[in-house]
A and B are shown apart, each in its own frame.
Chain A
Amino acid sequence: MSTFTAIGEDREIDQEEFTPGIEPQATWCPGCGDFGVLKALKGAMPEVGRTPDETLLVTGIGCSGKLSSYFESYGFHSIHGRALPVARAAKLANPGLEVIAAGGDGDGYGIGGNHFMHTARENHDMTYIVFNNEIFGLTKGQTSPTSPKGHESKTQPHGSAKDPVRPMSLSLASGASYVARTAAVNPRQAQEILVEAIQHDGFAHIDFLTQCPTWNKDAKEYVPYTDIQDSDEFDLDTGDRREAAETMYEAESRLYEGEVLTGRFYHDPDRPSYGEEKRAQGDVPEEPVAERYFEDGEWERTADRLIDRHT
């Protein structure tokens, strides 16, 4: 039976398999942090042992949305803010897929904020990478949900009067079971965190700091950065929700004071994923729903099961 032979295939995987022959060279600006995400993701895939054919990468709109063009796998370049609902349904339809969603800070924390909150709450077994450059890059530098208070742009000529979104705090409060922040300038940590996030059985959210040298020249390059796991100042138990919340708050505040705190902030390995919860209560069948359509077998009929109650 060959329905989805790519899923669970056991073989050596080369990082280069994730470079698409059709667009091998990404067209982001020189010095863009997005290159760092692409490189870390390509590096993480062989480590987690998943192939391009069993991976679905769903992206939103923006520079970050182009990730699916420059990363070889099944891809779905969706619409602004809607990567998560597309991705989580694909995971429910076929839990064997490795599902990764990606978008920018405007995409995930602005227009798609409601989906972000609810996907985290449901704890789908997937990875969500948010390219956080504190700006709208593709549309030429408007203020974004993570732009610092006072940020001046063509759409906020007197400076933004809003406090920025706190992405990790929002994620934790919503129910994400793995929350981390990394930076494009720290490729080693980024790849490690991506590996952990992909391996985590639940909703893993990575706030990925991606410097924008074109439209956010004033902003720092996210150097120097501190890994909170290596810092003497923090002795964080990532399984402790209260400690995590405090540390996130600190990191989010200090980012705007010029201090870049990265690392793992929260990790709850025990919370069952949404798929597990649903399967446990009989709401999702044990076998992937998608497989049925390619196999022989009887299909239920309303004539046999439902019409009697109407007679």
Chain B
Amino acid sequence: MWRIAGGSGDGIDSTSQNFAKALMRSGLNVFTHRHYPSRIRGGHTYVEVRASNEPVRSRGDGFNFLLALGDSFARSEQDGAYYGNEKVKPLTESLADLNEGGVVLYDTGFFEEADIAEIRLEERAEENGWHVYPMDLRGLAREHGREVMRNTAGVGAAAALLGQDTGYFEELVREAMSGEVMEANLTIFEMAYEQASEFEFSHDLRVPTGGHDTDQALMSGSNAIAYAALDSGCRFIAGYPMTPWTDVFTIMSQNLSEFGGVAEQVEDEIAAASLAIGASHAGVKAMSGSSGGGFALMSEPLGLAEMTETPLVLVEAMRAGPSTGMPTKTEQADLEHVLYTSQGDSNRVVFAPGNLEEAYEQTRTAFQVAYDYQIPAILLYDQKLGGEMRNVDVDFFDREPDPSLGATLTEEEISEAAHHESGKFERYRHDPDDGVSPRSVPGQTGGRFLASGNEHNAVGHISEDPDNRKAQMDRRVRKLERVRAELDDSEHSHQTHHGPADADLGMLAWGSQQDTVFEAVDRLNAAGHEVKALGVSDMLPYPETEVRGFLESVRECVVVEMNATGQFRGLTQKELGQYGEKLASLLKYDGEAFEPGEVVEGFESSIDGGQPAAGNMRFVPAAGD
């Protein structure tokens, strides 16, 4: 596990992406975790890359190789740096999380030894068994190319220290660059490799070797969501930038025109969701999305989509709230917001995928459900899932596109469908068993109807007749029951079981915490506990049967989630009407996701009425404890 740390704006993201890709090409499984401040330039940023010849499903715990690059945007203390000596921060701030026996490679080119005297590097290295290798990466880059190429120097030196095959990284440099820049980068990479090879190695850490049976692709959860939308035939997106949803919006905007679609950046999120409704109403598969604050503005159009039964897919990328909160930090505290926002009884579908593959699958299901049932479907994820990168089988994406508009009629079908005596098409009939009354699209001959946010009759005209009202409400509610039945009948449940089936202790996770919890479950079982976990993705309609089955099979259960009030635990109790005495909460809301080691620790210390959880975690016992 590496941490590559540097200044925000210094290209840490792209360097570590190439680094991870080189590891993937060498046959390893990789997983990245991105940490960045909410600033354009300056501030300390890092990416962690975990690689193994075994599957890697989470960030892991800490890291054992620190590559501390310089921060070129750091102000010196004389220039009025407000935050102490900024130049040394990529090194000094990362040390606290470096594992015992870890390796430190740092760039000496930005500061003097005296600048880091106060961190007592030598002393702490001794205590923790760290192996420290200082190198003037900046100087090397300046000498053989340009200063910005010090990142390449760092990767070259790291490769030497870890006995890594250099071919893959060099190959990536050749693919991404050309001419003098490429030559200079390759020279610097080799020089750094050679120079670092001259150190007397005191560490044993080496990069493992591995091999993939199939071609691999490295991508983020945001990529998976956007690609699923494109493969679902989505050809319209409207949005307004907001971290971290911007990733999906950007990927869609960069590719939609090539896919024959339209991307619109608009004045605000009310407009964004309203545009998606307008496009969908006119017969195009459409989406919008935002993060919590922008999604709040979408409450109103969301209700309009429910009432007019306009198919719509929204994505909500959670970050730490309330209000502006911590824009670049992760959290799972928008669950209740997304489930219940907008006036009236909510009538929507909400999925919270557990990992990259689920993000793809469930985005596709969201489009299918939205258009088949004429209902808004929301994909709820977070900064963690959206930003972390993983390798995935290329074959996974070998799918058929799904451009179906679902319950939408052709002109021929409209001509045979029921019409009111006035000539209007009966768009909102009371009688469909599954609740879905097929729609027409403007421009089709004979399909005229009125879509209205007011309660309306069969042709869409405003009606406050009590019998009509009840019939329309019942029909709309019925759609959700049918969605649940269809999901239950599906071959592939969105809920994922992990661990020994006969374990009598359980953990419940939802959304992006799933794979971290699963890794913790493996460790707990290896340590002699008998624990299993269920990762839940269907938030609404709630997978009652599956969760009830799981909870019936365990004696106690800890719900692991990244918020302060146990929102998913609350939802579970509300939906199942019981289990208050069985469900405890392990919560974290400091902006950082759980690490698997924390879940292990939190579980061990708190189950069976034990001690409160350590660190920034909080344990809320079950009602019975």
Residues of A within 8 A of B (CB): 2-7, 9, 20-23, 52-56, 58, 61, 66, 68-69, 72-79, 82, 85-90, 92-94, 96-97, 114-115, 117-118, 278, 282-285, 289-290, 292-294, 299-303, 305-307, 310-311
- Asked if B271 and A85 make an inter-chain contact with CB atoms under 8 angstroms apart, the answer reads yes
- Asked if A85 and B266 make an inter-chain contact with CB atoms under 8 angstroms apart, the answer reads yes
Known: A2-B412, A301-B231, A305-B258. A75 touches B453 (CB 8 A): no
**Nearest CB on A from B509, distance (A):** 27
- Asked if A306 and B283 make an inter-chain contact with CB atoms under 8 angstroms apart, the answer reads no
Report the separation of the CA atoms of residues A53 and B414 in the bound assembly, to the nearest whole angstrom: 13
- Interfacial chain A residues near B227, Cβ < 8 Å: 302, 306-307
- Asked if B410 and A53 make an inter-chain contact with CB atoms under 8 angstroms apart, the answer reads no
Known: A72-B448, A302-B231, A303-B397. A82 touches B283 (CB 8 A): no
In the complex, residue of chain A having the shortest beta-carbon distance to the beta carbon of B389: A310
- Asked if A290 and B410 make an inter-chain contact with CB atoms under 8 angstroms apart, the answer reads no
B282 CB-CB contact with A under 8 Å: yes
B66 CB-CB contact with A under 8 Å: no
Known: A5-B445, A89-B279, A290-B284. A283 touches B450 (CB 8 A): no
Most chain A beta carbons < 10 A, residue from B219, B258, B275: B275
- Asked if B300 and A289 make an inter-chain contact with CB atoms under 8 angstroms apart, the answer reads no
Report the separation of the CA atoms of residues A306 and B282 in the bound assembly, to the nearest whole angstrom: 28
- Asked if A92 and B442 make an inter-chain contact with CB atoms under 8 angstroms apart, the answer reads no
In the complex, residue of chain B having the shortest beta-carbon distance to the beta carbon of A299: B401
- Asked if A85 and B274 make an inter-chain contact with CB atoms under 8 angstroms apart, the answer reads yes
**Can you name 17 extra interface pairs (CB under 8 A) apart from A78-B453, A89-B286, A290-B282?**
A5-B445, A6-B445, A21-B421, A54-B442, A66-B462, A69-B462, A75-B460, A85-B266, A86-B275, A88-B278, A89-B282, A92-B236, A293-B283, A293-B403, A294-B410, A301-B401, A307-B397
- Asked if A97 and B411 make an inter-chain contact with CB atoms under 8 angstroms apart, the answer reads no
Q: Which residue in B276, B423, B424, B462 is a CB contact (below 8 Å) of A77?
A: B462
Q: Which of B143-151, B179-187, B210-218, B589-597 contacts A (4 or more CB under 8 A)?
A: B210-218
- Interfacial chain B residues near A300, Cβ < 8 Å: 230, 258-260, 401
- Asked if A307 and B448 make an inter-chain contact with CB atoms under 8 angstroms apart, the answer reads no
Residues of B within 8 A of A (CB): 215-219, 223, 227, 230-231, 233, 235-236, 238, 255, 257-264, 266-268, 270-272, 274-279, 281-286, 300-301, 303-304, 308, 394, 397-401, 403, 405, 408, 410-412, 420-424, 441-454, 459-462
**Nearest CB on B from A302, distance (A):** 4
- Asked if B274 and A89 make an inter-chain contact with CB atoms under 8 angstroms apart, the answer reads yes
Report the separation of the CA atoms of residues A4 and B308 in the bound assembly, to the nearest whole angstrom: 22
Report the separation of the CA atoms of residues A74 and B451 in the bound assembly, to the nearest whole angstrom: 8
In the complex, residue of chain B having the shortest beta-carbon distance to the beta carbon of A80: B300
- Interfacial chain A residues near B285, Cβ < 8 Å: 293
Q: Which residue in B264, B422, B442 is a CB contact (below 8 Å) of A97?
A: B442
Query: Can you report 28 A-B residue pairs in the complex whose CB atoms are below 8 A from each other?
Result: A4-B443, A5-B411, A6-B444, A7-B443, A22-B422, A54-B442, A54-B443, A68-B450, A69-B450, A73-B448, A74-B447, A75-B449, A77-B451, A77-B452, A85-B275, A89-B236, A92-B279, A94-B442, A114-B267, A289-B235, A290-B283, A292-B403, A293-B284, A301-B397, A301-B401, A302-B397, A306-B227, A311-B215
Q: Which residue in A88, A96, A303, A310 is a CB contact (below 8 Å) of B275?
A: A88
Report the separation of the CA atoms of residues A5 and B441 in the bound assembly, to the nearest whole angstrom: 12
- Asked if A293 and B261 make an inter-chain contact with CB atoms under 8 angstroms apart, the answer reads no
Report the separation of the CA atoms of residues A55 and B412 in the bound assembly, to the nearest whole angstrom: 19
- Asked if A77 and B259 make an inter-chain contact with CB atoms under 8 angstroms apart, the answer reads no
Q: Which residue in A4, A89, A310 is a CB contact (below 8 Å) of B444?
A: A4
Report the separation of the CA atoms of residues A69 and B453 in the bound assembly, to the nearest whole angstrom: 12
- Interfacial chain B residues near A2, Cβ < 8 Å: 410-412, 445
**Nearest CB on A from B617, distance (A):** 34
- Asked if B449 and A86 make an inter-chain contact with CB atoms under 8 angstroms apart, the answer reads no
- Asked if B255 and A306 make an inter-chain contact with CB atoms under 8 angstroms apart, the answer reads yes
Report the separation of the CA atoms of residues A301 and B405 in the bound assembly, to the nearest whole angstrom: 17
- Asked if B266 and A118 make an inter-chain contact with CB atoms under 8 angstroms apart, the answer reads yes
- Asked if B301 and A79 make an inter-chain contact with CB atoms under 8 angstroms apart, the answer reads yes
Report the separation of the CA atoms of residues A7 and B304 in the bound assembly, to the nearest whole angstrom: 27
- Asked if B461 and A69 make an inter-chain contact with CB atoms under 8 angstroms apart, the answer reads yes
- Asked if A284 and B262 make an inter-chain contact with CB atoms under 8 angstroms apart, the answer reads yes
- Interfacial chain A residues near B460, Cβ < 8 Å: 75
Report the separation of the CA atoms of residues A301 and B258 in the bound assembly, to the nearest whole angstrom: 11
- Asked if B282 and A56 make an inter-chain contact with CB atoms under 8 angstroms apart, the answer reads yes
Q: Which residue in B223, B235, B266 is a CB contact (below 8 Å) of A310?
A: B223
- Asked if B405 and A289 make an inter-chain contact with CB atoms under 8 angstroms apart, the answer reads no
Shortest Cβ-Cβ A-B pairs, 9 listed: A21-B422, A89-B278, A4-B443, A85-B274, A310-B217, A290-B283, A93-B282, A89-B275, A74-B442
- Asked if A82 and B301 make an inter-chain contact with CB atoms under 8 angstroms apart, the answer reads yes
Report the separation of the CA atoms of residues A278 and B253 in the bound assembly, to the nearest whole angstrom: 13
Known: A2-B412, A302-B227. A293 touches B445 (CB 8 A): no
